[in-house]
Amino acid sequence: MRFAIFGNTYQAKKSSHAETLFKLLEKRGAELSVCREFYHFIASDMKLNIKNIRLFDDDDFDADMVISIGGDGTFLKAANRVGKKNIPILGINTGRLGFLADISPEEMEITFDEIYNNNYKVEERSVLQMSCGNKKIETSPYALNEIAILKRDSSSMISIRTTINGEYLTTYQADGLVIATPTGSTAYSLSVGGPIIVPHSSTIAITPVAPHSLNVRPIVVPDDWEITLEVESRSHNFLVAIDGGNESFNEDDQITIRRADYTVKVVKRFNNVFFNTLRSKMMWGIDSRNGTPTSAPQK
């Protein structure tokens, strides 16, 4: 098999996991391409000597599967590079929470056994696309997690006039607005009070950040609807954050958000169940007094 590998470049203390990954793939005779930035990190900071690999920059690669080793941030960067290539992505988690990168280092060997035996599943995740009239967007306009409209250069709230399919919804008086995919519902959206959405629900969550009115609540709409945003700000500008990358816009810039014309394919083990991941990552049912489950699961 051919693998293209991305990794984070700021966790040298976790070098043993990357070393294990390359050894497992070498043992299986895999053909490896490695992101140049990650390769320089593992060669210089981690002192790993990886042979018989091809280096690539940006999206100049082809593979049967992409491997992201790091946290969900690393996965998002890999997904952005994959774009419309239709290559499935496997996330190995050496970060913290890990909803996208949910394969633990301890599961790597059995996971690759399953992959080579074609015993895995691929989930398709929707992507958002942002446009701004004829203005060129410097960062990538695509988001697997979320697109956030945020205040900038001022402590004052911004006003975000929101229209859906040409129909006026409301004007949010808030610090910002998060437009999230189901995949992104457990990321920034969740931290500002947004709902958790099952990954395959074909919806978009709209959640205000610190709204002025307590009556304003998140709303979930079908993902084939178009969202248009017009922003007013005392500083006459605002920030748009797209999966972590950000760019400044002027208040006369109209933002349009719609579902992209491609999906991101995520590799999962066959035994992966979203609700199990949710309970584990969110520690639902854990007694805070002693760290044990409050009740045993029913069979």
Does 102 qualify as catalytic in the annotation?
no
Structure tokens at 27: 């043992």
- The residues, ordered by sequence, that sit 6+ positions from 38 with a Cβ below 8 Å of its Cβ are 5, 6, 7, 8, 9
Residue 243 in contact with residue 137, Cβ under 8 Å? no
What are the start-end ranges of the H helices in the chain? Answer: 15-27, 36-44, 72-82, 108-116, 188-191, 274-282
Distances (CA, A) of 124 to 28, 134, 183: 27, 30, 10
Q: How far apart are CA 241 and CA 180, in angstroms?
A: 12
Phi-psi bin for 89: left (phi > 0), alpha (psi -120 to 50), beta?
Answer: beta
Per the CB < 8 A criterion, the answer to whether 267 and 65 are in contact is yes
Burial letters 265-274, b for 16+ CB under 10 A, else e:
bbbbbeeeeb
In this structure, what token pair is assigned to residue 258?
Answer: 């719609």
Catalytic residue among 64, 72, 113, 224: 72
Q: Which residue has the tokens 């129909």?
A: 167
In one letter, which amino acid is 266?
A: V
Catalytic amino acids? 72
